Structure 1
């Protein structure tokens, strides 16, 4: 969109964003200030009961968050996301929020929305967040609470939304596609488009549990859609449809042998990090492998970012099966596979994930005019954001 003297530019195209990656500036920090949540959603990869005393005991204190964010300022952090669990469950949420606002951070908040009260609305009205985001699990009580497994949560969710909207606060909406709400997904997406036409989003991938809980993982797997259902859903939503057409038309590269055995070739650890409720830092949301996590209570953010995180780029692929499949695949840029997800799915960082492969090829067939990896003759455009060893940044 262009107006006189004003042009909208994607964040990724801004010099600030490009420079942060080139210099490894910690521009974006996520705080999971609690894992506790009033809901018990079937698909959730992190939630613990609201009354879990041990989880509450392990949560970072206000004073610890204060100290960590002082370091973050020195490291160049601009954006801070508060999430959970549900961050509003913490009684000192307002103190944490105002602490970050007073330090000058651009603060985002992800919440289930069921705990929104007048005090929260007044807080956000007086000190607006950069963004507020919540998830729509259903637009009927039956469907929403089939997912949340919390009686009364649908009414609380809708009341929270109405309070925010009545105060003139913008709320970004997202939804996640599960077997439990697939029948209502057209109505859910229509609700999101109606109330959040530009910034709504759909997620059809379900992460497994960060704590590895086998019972909960089986439950999550049972909620996953089939490849055919995901493709059909992608086709029904204009944003998803256009997004996949663009990706399948521009992010496929020529299949070839690379001779590059590095495990991590993504943007993890380049300009963002996640800090769990217990003070454990991860280079990306999904990377919970113990070799790549850092306990801030035994160290500090500066040491973690400057000295510890870069070690991940020394990790190498060891599985021949991976080298012969994902390692040379021309569809790698549009596949959901990554070392972190491979670890969550199998316990191994370089495991081949056939379900991910099947879905990726199906998407190329559906949205890329039937092109296949072998037939594609375009020059390589592989995304490789990892610093080259020995090069100064």
Structure 2
């Protein structure tokens, strides 16, 4: 959801459409720049206040964040499956470890399985090293923030940089959803 769609979401319009088609709808309030690193879409982000208010309007979301906050972890690494249990192949036949991390690709069609597996493993390890070497690796809110190197690359063009928006949103979620 973005700043333009939050009012409709709060009115339940998307939920109504989902019910018609007997589907479940999931919302994601995080908007990133385009994959070509154009930052224009950032102006479409909903404000943190709007996101928190929207999340408070849904009992399932409130329950999700309360459970997540009560189970906050100081995990040593991010739980990224990119290159291990997922990969993305674009229309040109190039593979990357996830659909968001498009900076490092390999031709899926021109390489053998062994080469592709090595690429996936190496790319996964590279993403983990970005995380381990980032300021985010020592943050006690990282399991709420859900920062990842692909997000950082889209936001800043730097795979190790913290994302201020996500940091602030994590802090606000912890404040808003912590049970007293």
- Aligned in 2, Cα 1:298/1:304: closer, same or farther, shift over 3 Å? same
Q: 2:99 aligns with which of 285, 288, 312?
A: 285
Could you tell me which runs of 5 or more consecutive residues in structure 2 were left unpaired when the two chains were aligned: none
- Aligned in 2, Cα 1:248/1:193: closer, same or farther, shift over 3 Å? farther
Partner of 1:353: 163
Partner of 2:33: 208
Q: Tell me how far 1:180 sits from its aligned partner.
A: 1.7
Q: Deviations over 1:59-87 (max 9, x none)?
A: xxxxxxxxxxxxxxxxxxxxxxxxxxxxx
**What are the within-5 Å matches in structure 2 for residues 188-337 of structure 1?**
188-192=13-17, 194-195=19-20, 199-212=24-37, 214=38, 217-218=39-40, 220-250=41-71, 252-253=72-73, 265-290=79-104, 293-300=105-112, 302-315=113-126, 316-317=129-130, 322-323=134-135, 326-337=136-147
Cα distance in structure 2, aligned partners of 1:204 and 1:314: 28
SS at structure 2 position matched to 1:366: helix
| TM-score, normalised by the number of residues in structure 1 | 0.41
SS at structure 2 position matched to 1:178: coil
Q: List structure 1 runs of 4+ shifted beyond 4 angstroms.
A: none
8 Å Cα contact 1:192/1:200 also seen in 2: no
RMSD: 2.6
Residue 4 of structure 2 corresponds to residue 180 of structure 1: yes
Q: Which has the higher strand share?
A: 1
Q: Which has the higher helix share?
A: 2
SS at structure 1 position matched to 2:42: helix
Cα distance in structure 2, aligned partners of 1:304 and 1:364: 43
8 Å Cα contact 2:130/2:149 also seen in 1: no
**What are the within-5 Å matches in structure 2 for residues 110-189 of structure 1?**
177-185=1-9, 186-189=11-14
Q: Which has the larger radius of gyration?
A: 1
Aligned length: 177
Between the two structures, name the one with larger relative contact order (CA 8 Å, sep ≥ 6): 2
| TM-score, normalised by the number of residues in structure 2 | 0.84
Q: Tell me how far 1:280 sits from its aligned partner.
A: 1.1
Partner of 1:133: none
Q: Deviations over 1:176-232 (max 9, x none)?
A: x122222222232441463367722112122321122x3xx31x1111011111000
Q: Deviations over 1:100-151 (max 9, x none)?
A: xxxxxxxxxxxxxxxxxxxxxxxxxxxxxxxxxxxxxxxxxxxxxxxxxxxx
8 Å Cα contact 1:282/1:288 also seen in 2: yes
Cα distance in structure 2, aligned partners of 1:281 and 1:254: 31
